[in-house]
Amino acid sequence: MDNYQNQLDQTFSALADPTRRAIVARLAEGEASVGQLARPFAMALPSLMKHIRVLETGGLVETEKRGRVRTCRLKPAGMQSVETWLAEQRAIWGARLDRLEAYAMALEQATEKKAKRRTEAEAGKNVSTGKRKG
Amino acid sequence: MDNYQNQLDQTFSALADPTRRAIVARLAEGEASVGQLARPFAMALPSLMKHIRVLETGGLVETEKRGRVRTCRLKPAGMQSVETWLAEQRAIWGARLDRLEAYAMALEQATEKKAKRRTEAEAGKNVSTGKRKG
């Protein structure tokens, strides 16, 4: 459990930076070498490598050295762990909203019934008043 | 756009801590006062308030003071912004996987066709050989 929490810390932390999110978005389109990644970001290689290492620690990216070229690609498990955590909260939250909605509907129906009974009672009174007048 | 990126930075950063994620999970079940939140976390109020302030900055939680009690509740927009960002990456990535799958299927079909032609050609050769032998 602690390992899982630690990993989530690193993953969320890795995503808390616009350059790193842009790298993830670029790698979602397909793998790229560090050189290819550096170009659109107008960033020196050492700075870029620092970001890539943070993404690796966050479990979001994996790199592989082929000859002199280091290739980066997205690691599905990292994104998946964030999605799973969000889905868990959404499920708890959704269940609560469903209960609230059910409660609100029951309340509404009860109020409608009450209003209907009152209208009927009023109508009954008017009819008898009418009868008396006629 | 920069505001959006800044907000995402703050939101991801707020989620990069196990106590803050636990607070979010607790608030997913329903609003709670700061005192109620502090109990299960066995945390002094000032430390907890610091975490709550980070969650507020991250757009994940809103608080309201009623009399002497500060009530905290989840803010849907914060979770939504993270989910939207993830869904965007998933869409780019999914589209690429679809293209890769289509390419792999086309490749497989082409290989099968080639193998079939070769088998037919071999069979043809065998038939003619057989004829010659017979």
pLDDT tens, position by position, B8-40: 999 999 999 999 999 999 999 999 999 999 988
Residue among A12, A55, A100, A103 with most chain B CBs within 10 A, to mutate: A12
Closest CA to A8 of B19, B15, B81, B54: B15
Distance CA A117, CA A75 (A): 63
Cβ pair B79:A90 closer than 8 A: yes
Q: How confident is the model at residue A134 (pLDDT cuts 50, 70, 90)?
A: very low
Residue A8 banded pLDDT, cuts 50, 70, 90:
very high
Q: Kindly report which listed range (A63-72, B43-52, B117-126) carries the lowest average pLDDT score.
A: B117-126
What stretches of chain B show up as alpha helix (H) in DSSP? 2-15, 18-28, 34-41, 45-57, 76-133
Indicate yes or no: CB of B89 within 8 angstroms of CB of A24: yes
CA A39 to CA A47: how far, in whole Å? 12
Predicted complex ipTM? 0.75
Output B107 or B71, whichever has higher pLDDT: B71
Model pTM above 0.80 = no
**pLDDT of A131 higher than 60:** no
